[in-house]
Amino acid sequence: MQQITIRRPDDWHLHLRDGAMLQGVLPETTRHFARAIIMPNLVPPVVTGADAAAYRDRILAAIPDGADFTPLMTLYLTEDTDPDDLAAAHASGLVTAVKLYPAGATTNSASGVRDFDKVRPVLERMAEIGCPLCVHGEVTDPDIDIFDREAVFIDRVLDPVRRATPGLRVVMEHITTRDGADYVASNDTDLGATITVQHLVLDRNDMLVGGMRPHYYCLPILKRREHRDALLKAATSGDPRYFLGTDSAPHPTHAKESECCSAGCFTAPNALSILADTFEKAGALDKLEGFTSLHGPAFYGLPVNEDTITLTRGAPVTWPARIETGDGPVTVFDPGFPVHWSVT
């Protein structure tokens, strides 16, 4: 039997939703993770400090008894975001980061940014006060093929925005391509990236060959194998600019198994088991703790967690096929191969 003990992980990109769904999915995160960056793409989105305070209270109220969990709140950047409101929410510790969704890029992103010039004053203020920008890095131009949207975003939007806003700290959320990994590697420490579990273990063939698998559909969409390989190399490299953001994104099973499938994989319950398995196969178990527990706090300027979790290698782990929530069942991500590591 093999065991490793690592500092308790954090999830640097998480969707918790609200109401009955929040109540149902939150325990799956608090079981393993100490903190998480909470995505603001509710309907309506979390756009002001007051919205973030109210949402944080609802999350805190839903934490299971005995669990120790800190939600790190984000604001949803719109063309009307008030720099003073954001600065006050950041200074008070209420808001950790701001999320940029290009309008129309993904689930509930209609209020996102269309004209990047309109958010320039907010971005400049963020650079001044040291508030990081979390970016959904895909263009929404209908002429750009969905598989190219990340690479084109880097050239057309991200690089120009970063050049125009020196000192702005940026997290490229859920990178899915070699282009994303390379862009991070070729820049300074003001740029980091989160990587999801599904993008480390799957490629687009897994989603599309032999039938379409809706529970593998997420955005940015899974790419070719060579991109998955580049992400795995980045995640297991020990480079502190790459860290875990599961992007665990629950949708009721009926919304996934539907004519127009919602985007998102629900990985909160088994993310760490799958990661341990993946890092082991890559011969990089010694790099797991950095990716899950050290690099994220370093980027965000936060202390690492003091407590630990232990992962044990044994017989293949089982987990429920779905969890029940007041909004209906949510199917748990199944990587499609046996996973031998459990969190004990």
Which parts of this chain interact with ligand DOR (CB under 6 A)? 15, 41, 106-107, 136, 218-219, 249, 263-264
Catalytic choice (247, 277, 286, 334): 247
Look up 247 and say whether it is catalytic: yes
CB of residue 106 to ligand DOR, shortest distance in Å: 4
* CB-based contacts of 28-31 (< 8 A; 24+ apart in sequence): 28/248, 28/268, 28/269, 28/323, 29/69, 29/248, 29/268, 30/63, 30/64, 30/67, 30/68, 30/69, 31/67, 31/269, 31/343
Among 28, 85, 179, 247, binds Zn ion (CB under 5 A): 247
Binding piece for Zn ion, criterion CB under 5 A, among 77-85, 92-100, 191-199, 239-247: 239-247
Residue 167's identity, in one-letter code, is: G
Contact partner, 36, from ligand DOR, Zn ion, none, Cβ < 5-8 Å per class: none
Site size toward Zn ion (CB under 5 A) is 1
Nearer to Zn ion, 40 or 49 (CB): 40
Contact partner, 178, from Zn ion, ligand DOR, none, Cβ < 5-8 Å per class: none
Contact partner, 263, from ligand DOR, Zn ion, none, Cβ < 5-8 Å per class: ligand DOR
CB of residue 268 to ligand DOR, shortest distance in Å: 13
Contact present, 274 and 218 (Cβ < 8 Å): no
According to DSSP, the β-strands at 11-14 and 170-172 are: unpaired
Q: To 10 degrees, what angle do helices 225-235 and 178-185 make?
A: 30
Site for Zn ion in 4-43 (CB under 5 A): none
Nearer to ligand DOR, 217 or 279 (CB): 217
Nearer to ligand DOR, 100 or 219 (CB): 219
Nearer to ligand DOR, 104 or 240 (CB): 104
CB of residue 105 to ligand DOR, shortest distance in Å: 7
Nearer to ligand DOR, 15 or 90 (CB): 15
Under the binding rule (CB under 5 A), the answer on residue 203 touching Zn ion is: no
Task: Find the DSSP H helices in the chain.
Answer: 19-30, 49-62, 83-91, 120-129, 149-153, 159-164, 178-185, 198-201, 204-208, 225-235, 253-256, 271-281, 288-289, 295-300
Phi, psi of 296 (to 5 degrees): -65, -55
Please, what sign has the CA dihedral across residues 189, 299, 103, 182? positive
Q: What is the DSSP letter of 304?
A: P
Annotated catalytic sites, by residue?
A: 247
Binding footprint of Zn ion on the chain (CB under 5 A): 247
